[in-house]
Copies of this chain bind each other. A is one copy, B any other.
Amino acid sequence: MNITGLMTSAGINTAICFVLFSLFSVLRKQPCNAGIYFGQRIAQVRSKHHEPFCFERLVPSASWIMKAWRASEEDIIASGGLDAVVFLRIIVFSIQIFSIAAIICIFLVLPLNYFGQEMQHKNIPSESLEVFTVGNVKEGSRWLWAHCLALYVITCSACGLLYIENKNIANMRLAYVSASPPKPSQFTVLVRAIPWSSEKCYSDLVSRFFRKYYGSSYLSHQMIYRSGTVQKLMSDAEKMYKMLKSTHMRDYHRSSILTCGLCGGTASSFQILAGEPESAEDRGDFTAPDLREKECAAVLVFFRTRFAANITSKSLLTPNPMQWVTDLAPEPNDVFWSNLCIPYRLLWIRRVATLSTTIVFMLFSLGPVGVVCGLANADKLQNLLPFLRGILERKFMSQLVTGYLPSVILILFLYIVPPIMMLFSAVEGSISHSGRKKSACIKVLYFLIWNVFFANILVGSFIDRLDTIQNVVPREMPTVLAKVVPEKAFFFTTYVLTSGWASLACELVQPFVLLCNLVDRLLCRNKGVLSCDVMSFPYHTEIPRLLVFGLIGFTFCIFAPLILPFLLVYFSVANLVYRNQILDVYVTKYQSGGLYWPIVHNVTIFSLVLTHTIALGFFGMKKSTVASGFVVPLTICTLLFHIYCRERFFLLYKDNAAQVLIDMDREDEQSGRLEEIHQQLCSAYCQFKSRNAADLDQFDHRDAQMIQKPEDIKHVV
């Protein structure tokens, strides 16, 4: 493919994006789509307002771009939480580092590549793309120091920027921890694997244990129940509640009767605890006797102070590490209730099984990726499979099959991966939705890096050499990569164009939800109770996508610098699109509190080291020992930087500082707010309130929640 081909491809994609963006700016003005494009606002504003039809609605406009651009970090935190900020920081970081890389690579490296061989150059538009890659530099060239210099500049800038980001995000994380209003999760510890006793029910065991050993800080507890039968009981109770509601509403000062008696820590038991210590047996009659059988060996224990809860969650309670296992509880909205009942002794088996299944799945997925690569190398395959020759003889078909089709197949195939990984992470036993999403994010990331990057390159290399690949020794890996990476530049440029640009447009227009919405309205005549999904941000698909583009950017920047402008366009548009999505579309029901950042840091360091490895192989291949020699200290320094950052920042994502917690506790105590917090704590966690939503969420990568009629929605453009 030559420059013209690449530009054509870029042109087509730009046009598609432009059309879709315009379509979006029109669609978002239609009131019937408000549920799709303004989920965030709908969740906030709930007033009745009917807007009349006007012609302006049908004119494409760029107002959303301005709005997204102007949003400050505070706005983002307010609507998307810390995770959204971390997400946008990934994009900003990428823009910064790839701008630096683009400047140095296009002005220094690209000319050297182009004039690397003594050859007759054609017109630039009809020039083959390979002329622009590092493959064009001749062996032993003394200009290779420029590539080495570029590598140094890019690595140093990346580390510098990464350090600044690390520092900023660590500060934001601290602010998140100490932010008001107080979080119930900070006072709550999830205790699992309570040992079974034939004499006492779990609730008694818990209250006895914590009164004995944590008497001064233990406040109350709330049993967790197996769902199923209880669920049925609950719905009955709910009906009765609705009947009684009108008369007795003012008698109880608590928000929901559902927590009473069923969700363990009742207001009455709580007051008993606060006053005179009374034997646990006396409280037995608060819980229905048949519910005892439904008790899980898991419980939420509430403590008087954040500090006490934190230290209990980090301690080994009893000499048997498989009993009385503690964790800090997730936020009430974040709890993955159905996973809390999994017997703790099965958890490690589940984890091992999920890990093995993921690995097997990744290996088996090489099949489709192989097909993709086969298509990308169809011209080489046609010697083996003669029927391809007929198809490929037509120029258009050839370009389609070798250029565009592979990445489209790859994208479609990759659409099914996140839900599968989400399922795996649910089976794994995460106790929180955010934890499940983070775990799925890591799995999808491994999958993408393995399948998109390595498998593509290696399978490509396998088709090139067909049999020699089998004898590749790990030592030779850098050389193999160095040989294949420049050749693969064209494929990955197309990948950025299709997977990157197109996915942004899709993300904006949300065609799938739009279609569902349309079908729902047209076929089901479902005008009254439209169930349109208010989604939470799919970090587990989007973060891996960004990171893989980052990986592609780093590994290709000095070998095929032409990829950089396309990447920069992608990240710049992504910045606007995702800002809009975070501000308007997605609802933040739960967040991990910036726990995605360590993943980002690790992958960036991995990308840098991988780039160095490829550079090492490449310089070795081009017989430039000086350049090779200079790469090794760079890698060592990068790794040292990584270890330092781990030591300096990463503990903050695992543990909360005692100083901060104690200060917060004291402040609350002095302001007299602590009592109020304790009161609210007991009703904060309600197992069966939002179970429907949680269940819907379980096997869908987009979390769903029922909202009110579209007529009720205020038009908020």
Contact = CB atoms under 8 A, between A and B. Distances in A.
A428 to B, nearest CB: 14
Contact of A658 (B174, B316, B472, B643): B316
8 contacts: A174-B319, A213-B659, A311-B315, A315-B655, A318-B659, A321-B647, A352-B640, A470-B473
A267 interface: no
Given A321-B647, A321-B651, 13 more contacts: A213-B662, A311-B311, A312-B658, A314-B314, A316-B651, A316-B656, A316-B658, A317-B657, A321-B648, A321-B652, A322-B647, A322-B648, A349-B640
Contacts of A471: 471, 473
Contacts of A321: 647-652
Contact of A657 (B318, B470, B640, B650): B318
A348 interface: yes
A152 to B, nearest CB: 21
Contacts of A213: 658-659, 662
Nearest to A348: B647
A644 B346 CA distance: 10
B658 A352 contact: no
A643 B319 contact: no
Nearest to A319: B657
Nearest to A654: B316
A660 interface: yes
Q: Which of A311, A321, A473, A474 has the most CB of B within 10 A?
A: A321
A193 B316 CA distance: 26
Contacts of A649: 321
Interface string A300-340: 00000000001110111111111000000000000000000
Contacts of A643: 348, 352
Interface string A455-495: 00000000000000011111000000000000000000000
Contacts of A314: 311, 314-315
A90 to B, nearest CB: 23
Nearest to A649: B321
Contacts of A656: 316
A141 to B, nearest CB: 29
Given A321-B647, A473-B471, A658 B315 contact: yes
Interface in A626-684: 640, 643-644, 647-652, 655-660, 662
Contacts of A657: 316-319
Which 10 pairs across A and B sit closest by C-beta, in order of nearness?
A321-B651, A316-B655, A319-B657, A311-B311, A315-B658, A318-B659, A316-B657, A348-B647, A213-B662, A174-B319
Contacts of A348: 643-644, 647
A644 B350 CA distance: 12
A42 B315 CA distance: 42
Contacts of A470: 473
A658 B322 CA distance: 14
Contacts of A472: 473
A175 to B, nearest CB: 10
Interface string A342-381: 0000001100100000000000000000000000000000
Contacts of A660: 319
Contacts of A647: 321-322, 348
A310 B317 CA distance: 12
A549 to B, nearest CB: 31
Nearest to A324: B659
Contacts of A322: 647-648
Interface in A104-147: none
Interface string A166-190: 0000100010000000000000000
A264 B659 CA distance: 24
A652 B473 contact: no
A712 B473 CA distance: 67
A322 B656 CA distance: 14
A310 B348 CA distance: 27
A317 B657 CA distance: 5
Nearest to A651: B321
A321 B174 CA distance: 12
Contact of A317 (B174, B473, B659): B659
Contacts of A644: 348
Interface string A686-701: 0000000000000000
Contacts of A652: 316, 319, 321
A303 to B, nearest CB: 13
A324 to B, nearest CB: 8
A656 B470 CA distance: 51
Identify which of A310, A319, A650 gathers the most chain B CB atoms within 10 Å of its CB: A319
Nearest to A213: B662
Contacts of A474: 474
Contacts of A311: 311, 314-315
A551 to B, nearest CB: 24
A641 to B, nearest CB: 11
A650 B348 CA distance: 14
Nearest to A178: B319
Contacts of A640: 349, 352
A319 B659 contact: yes
Contacts of A315: 310-311, 314, 655, 658
A55 to B, nearest CB: 56
A616 to B, nearest CB: 18
